[in-house]
Amino acid sequence: MAIKKKTASRTVAKKIKDKWRAKRWYKIVAPNMFKGLEIAETLSDEPDKLIGRISEVTLQDLTGDFSKMHIKLQFKIHDYKNDIAYAKFVGHDLTSDYIRRQTRRKRSKMDGVYDVNTKDGYLIRVKPMAITEKRIQTSQQHAIREIMKEEIKNAAENAVLSEFVKMMVSGDLSSQIFKSSKHVYPIKRIEIRKSQILMEPDILPEEPLEEGAEEGTEAGEGAEGVVEDEATPGEPSKSEEAVKETPEVPSPKPSVESSES
């Protein structure tokens, strides 16, 4: 009986070792908005299991800027090819210790939650944070929140996802809100503390569609709305020949003969 137990345990151990041997390392690559840099590496025995995994990295790791070490970016794997897993941006947030350092006694902190749509059809939830030097009235807090809402909404509507993400993590959007809210009360600090992509457009590959649309318009030039006409390079289009030939058709002759008769 003892011999059978030992053999059974050995077979189980072999199976476990075989599972680990079957696993491979995959490189996780950031989207084009972050220049396709390598984020991390992950293990998996099947590539289909990579889909949906979320990897977190600081902005300092991507840019090398130590002043951005408090910004954490989240990427989600959506595709793979060979040993490379392609990830897309799904959101960002600030570290908790950085937020605690900004808040002090006798200061007012204003948080907001706004759902905005980008120019290319993404729905993003943005959570800004504004901190004043001293405590302010409720009416002033309400006015600053309205300014944050309008600035974030206008910035999202006039930018695609990559541009809007760059504005959030680089601080350009915060400085824009800072300038607009000066007349209400002097702001000490404004940060976009968190963002999250809630909905993606139905058609994700935007760049190929734009190239195809341009090709379609170029192919349609010269046809002037004639669908059946197939223009060939280096030769005049058939529609132009048809337009030139139509006046030469003896259409008025029957009308003259009928008048003489």
Q: Are residues 131 and 192 in the same domain?
A: yes
Q: Give me the count of residues in the chain.
A: 261
- Number of other residues whose CB lies within 10 A of the CB of residue 130: 24
Distance CA 49, CA 148 (A): 40
Domain containing residue 27:
22-94
CATH number at residue 105: 3.30.479.30
Q: Are residues 60 and 117 in the same domain?
A: no
pLDDT tens by residue, 70-81 = 999 999 999 999
- Amino acid code (one letter) for 136: I
Q: Are residues 109 and 31 in the same domain?
A: no
pLDDT tens by residue, 198-257 = 999 987 644 433 333 333 333 333 333 333 444 444 444 444 444 444 444 444 444 334
DSSP code of 221? Answer: T
Q: Are residues 58 and 76 in the same domain?
A: yes
Q: Are residues 73 and 154 in the same domain?
A: no
For residue 184 the two structure tokens come to: 């209400």
Q: Which residues of 133-152 are buried (b: 16+ CB within 10 A; e: fewer)?
A: eeebeeebbebbbebbbebb
